[in-house]
Amino acid sequence: MTPEVLRFADDGSIPNNPRLPVLLYRAALPPGDPATAEALFARHGWPPAWRNGIHPYHHYHPNAHEALAIARGEVRVQLGGAAGPTLALRAGDVVVLPAGVGHRNLGASADLLVVGAYPPGAVPEEFTGTEDQHAEALSAIDMVEDPVTDPVTGGPWPSEPPPSVGDFSA
């Protein structure tokens, strides 16, 4: 299974990740059962952490990578900050967000259910892109180790991911 690869530049508010791309796996899971996503993440070394939705405001985790599986429903997610693209995600899709990548919910179906997971030991902080957070976020992002495994495939984290299909780093 080959992911779509998206890269984002720092937009002055949302730092995004200067090295690691977003990985988007379409139809990676059968839709409808959050336990399937939780089992996949756990099997690949990313302990499932929560079931919920996605916040409707820009936010990011400067100290942790995050995997989001859409277990049920559909959602429009903006990535990378206010000028970033909007992705239509549906049940079965998984998006892997490196530390620092901004994301927000722009609208979802009433039945949306997302399963979130982080690499072992991660305790994610939530930043919202305020000016006073930016320098601290850049420092924190730089200190986050690359994941050992890909939460979807279970293989080694790609040191050389496939070419970008969306490069928003310019």
Q: Determine the length of the chain.
A: 170
Could you tell me which of 12, 27, 147, 23 has the C-alpha nearest to residue 81?
A: 12
Q: Is residue 163 part of a domain?
A: no
Residue 100's CATH number: 2.60.120.10
Q: Is residue 37 part of a domain?
A: yes
Question: What is the model's pTM?
Answer: 0.94
Would you place residue 75 in the very low, low, confident or very high pLDDT band (cuts 50, 70, 90)? very high
Would you place residue 157 in the very low, low, confident or very high pLDDT band (cuts 50, 70, 90)? confident
Q: Is residue 24 part of a domain?
A: yes
Q: Is residue 146 part of a domain?
A: no
Cβ-Cβ contacts under 8 Å for 112 (sequence gap 6 or more): 53, 54, 70, 72, 73, 74, 75
- The tens digit of pLDDT for each residue in 139-149 reads 999 999 999 99
The residue type of 113 is L
**Distance between CA 142 and CA 100 in Å, rounded?**
10
Q: Find the angle CA(71)-CA(69)-CA(27) to the nearest 5 degrees.
A: 80
Full domain range(s) for residue 11: 4-119+126-140
Could you tell me which of 158, 146, 130, 120 has the C-alpha nearest to residue 25?
A: 158
Domain count, the chain: 1
Q: DSSP assignment of 93-148, as one string?
A: -EEEE-TT--EEEEEE-TT-EEEEE--TT-----B---GGGHHHHHHHHHHSPPPS
Sheet holding 86-90, edge to edge: 86-90, 74-79, 103-108
Q: Is residue 81 part of a domain?
A: yes
What's the average model confidence in pLDDT over 119-135?
95
What's the average model confidence in pLDDT over 84-99?
98
Q: Is residue 30 part of a domain?
A: yes
Pairing of strands 166-168, 4-8: parallel
